[in-house]
Amino acid sequence: MNFENRLPRVLYAASWAALILLPVSLIWTAAAGGLSRSALMRALPDVPVTDALSDNAVLLALAPAAIGVAAMCFVLWQMQALFRLFSEGQALTMPAALRIRRIGLGLLVAGLAGPVLRPLQILILTSANPPGERMLALGIGSSDVGLLLAAGLLTVIGWAMADAAWVAEENRGFV
C-alpha cells in the first residue's frame, strides 16, 4: 500500500478519534467540575464574576460554546466521510466536492462562533455585577482570522471541485 492510499486511511481514523474524543473530553471536564463557577473564574481571570451569579447564568454562559463544539463535530464528521471517499479512490467526485464544501461551511460557523459568542458569554457572566462593573468585550485574534480564511478557501475549493467533478463525469460519458 503506497502513501497515497495509506494517508487517507490514517486521517480517516484520526478524524474518527477526534470526533469521539471531543464530546468525551467535554463530558469528562463537566464531571470533574471543570464547568463550575470557580473553574470558570480561573479560566477567565480578567472577567469580574461575582458570587451573586446564579448557577443557571453560568450554564447559560457556557451554552454558546456548544455551538462551536457542534460545528467542529460536524466538520469532523464530514472529514471522516471525505477521507473514506479518498481511501476508496473517489477524489474527483461530486460527493467528495460536497464534503469539502461542507467542511468549509462548518469551519466558517466555528470561526464566527468565537468572536460573535464570546462577548455574549462575558455579558452573561457579568450580568449579576453591580452597574458599572458589567462587561462587554469584543475581540478577534489572528487564529480567528486564519480559521475564517481557511474556511473560505475550503468552501471555494469545494465549489470548484464540484464543477470539476461534473466535467469529469461528463467526459466519462463521452468515452
Structure pTM? 0.86
Model pLDDT, residue 46: 85
Query: H/E/C letters for each residue in 74-134?
Result: HHHHHHHHHHHHHHCCCCCCHHHHHHHHHHHHHHHHHHHHHHHHHHHHHHHHCCCCCCCCC
Question: What would the pLDDT profile of 90-131 be if each residue is shown by its tens digit?
Answer: 999 999 999 999 999 999 999 999 899 989 988 988 888 888
Written as one string, the DSSP assignment of 127-170 is TTSPTT---------HHHHHHHHHHHHHHHHHHHHHHHHHHHHH
